[in-house]
Amino acid sequence: MHTAFNASLLKLERERRGWSQTFLAERLAVKQAALSKYERGAVEPPAPMQERIAETFDLPIEFFRPETAEIPTGLIFHRKRAAAPARVRSMIEADARLRLLDVLRLAAETGLRSRLIERQKTPEETAVALRRFWNVPKGPIDNFIDLLEQNGVVVLEFDFGTDLLDAFFVRLDVETDLVCIVLNSNEAFSPDRIRFTLAHELGHALLHRDAFPDKKAENEANNFAAELLAPAKDVAPDLTRRLDFERLKALKAKWKMSTSALIYRAKDLGILPESAARRYWMYLSQMQMRKNEPLCGLVRETPSKLEQMLKTQSEQTPNMPEWLRISDAEFERRYPRFNALK
């Protein structure tokens, strides 16, 4: 049953800003115990307090009265999971969950759903089946974000404010199987890493609906991503030739995968002995290229589906911040490129 005041949004907005309950309670001039009850939904704030909360956050009161009662969550599987402190993860997840409300509203207007398949016997077979289902031509994928968005997988990109977390996936709607990958736009990540990260998170979405995040699940997502981006039957001929670093750079430009990932691929396919792979990785480390490889002409791919949906909706609803129940300032923070698209 919906209430006039959505308590979960109060907590999410506080966490997004990195505010403690004590800090917010002081700003609202209430006891922390009272604020805790508001956030749990145990007590609904009186009308004057609701207005004060909205004013403190510089948000319209309608923000706290959405039709959506359940807010999606999803920071379960993600790369470098242990590195980001709990407080940082809470801020990122809260920001993402608030932005995902926009995705849900827009998807409801457009009927958007993700075109996915059931898990096959192995991660590799799942990747092969997905390429077939999505009619992906053999060989490298030209623009991976475009491929995702063409098939209804929403890529929600914003700067997490840290390079300790790459991305995570969220299943927004079980009935329509709408999947969103929340991607860190931080400049620390190279184009090839971003592509592999997206494929990795897609692997989790397909393979691990009910699984516990563990090392096995991470390995499966990596194997899925490698097969999706560089199918064994297509990449093997390229990897059987002599793999000096000039050759690896050319293959990086072709397959849009890091040289390190290509070495892994050659090892996993039994083309390169593990001892040889170790020598390559040692050389990359010595040359300080494990995290800073040459770009080899690769450029960053940019998602556009969400902003296109916003643009379409704006033709019917000129005041988009009001439609999304956020302030003009918050709309600009979330969608800085929107006005340029109009």
pLDDT for the residue 176: 73
Structure tokens at 194: 């971003």
Average pLDDT over residues 2-25: 90
Q: Is the per-residue pLDDT at 3 higher than 60? A: no
**Cβ distance 258 to 229 under 8 Å?**
no
pLDDT value of position 73: 66
Task: Name which of 93-102, 157-166, 207-216 the model is least confident about.
Answer: 207-216
Q: Examine the pLDDT at 174 and tell me if it is beyond 90.
A: no
CB atoms closer than 10 angstroms to residue 249: 17
- Residue 81 is classified by DSSP as T
Q: Tokens representing 211?
A: 């699984």
pLDDT at 80 over 60: no
Q: Where are the beta strands (DSSP E) in the chain?
A: 154-158, 167-173, 178-184
Residue 72: pLDDT band by 50, 70, 90 thresholds?
Answer: low
Q: How confident is the model at residue 143 (pLDDT cuts 50, 70, 90)?
A: very high
The number of CA neighbours under 13 Å toward the Cβ of 285 is 6
- Model confidence at 86, pLDDT cuts 50, 70, 90, reads confident
- Annotate 175-200 with DSSP letters as a single string: TTTEEEEEEE--TTS-HHHHHHHHHH
Q: What is the DSSP string of 246-264?
A: HHHHHHHHHH---HHHHHH
Higher-confidence residue: 85 or 179?
A: 179
> Would you state the pLDDT for residue 2?
44
How is residue 285 written in tokens? Answer: 């480390």
Options 3.50.50.60, 1.10.3720.10, 1.20.120.420, 1.10.260.40; CATH of 7-64:
1.10.260.40
Contact 136, 148 (CB under 8 A): no
Identity of residue 246: E
| pLDDT tens digits along 222-251 | 999 999 999 999 999 999 888 888 899 999
| Closest-CA residue to 163 (of 285, 330, 291) | 291
pLDDT tens, residue by residue, 44-70: 999 999 999 999 999 999 999 876 656
Domain ranges of the chain: 7-64, 86-286, 305-341
Are 324 and 99 in contact by the 8 Å Cβ rule? The answer is no
How many residues can be counted in the chain?
342
Mean pLDDT, the chain, whole residue set: 90
Q: Which residues, 6 or more positions from 286, have their beta carbon under 8 angstroms from its beta carbon?
A: none
Give pLDDT tens digits for 252-295.
999 999 999 999 999 999 999 999 899 988 888 887 777 788 88
User: Average pLDDT, stretch 14-18?
Assistant: 96
Nearest to 338 by CA among 316, 310, 319: 310
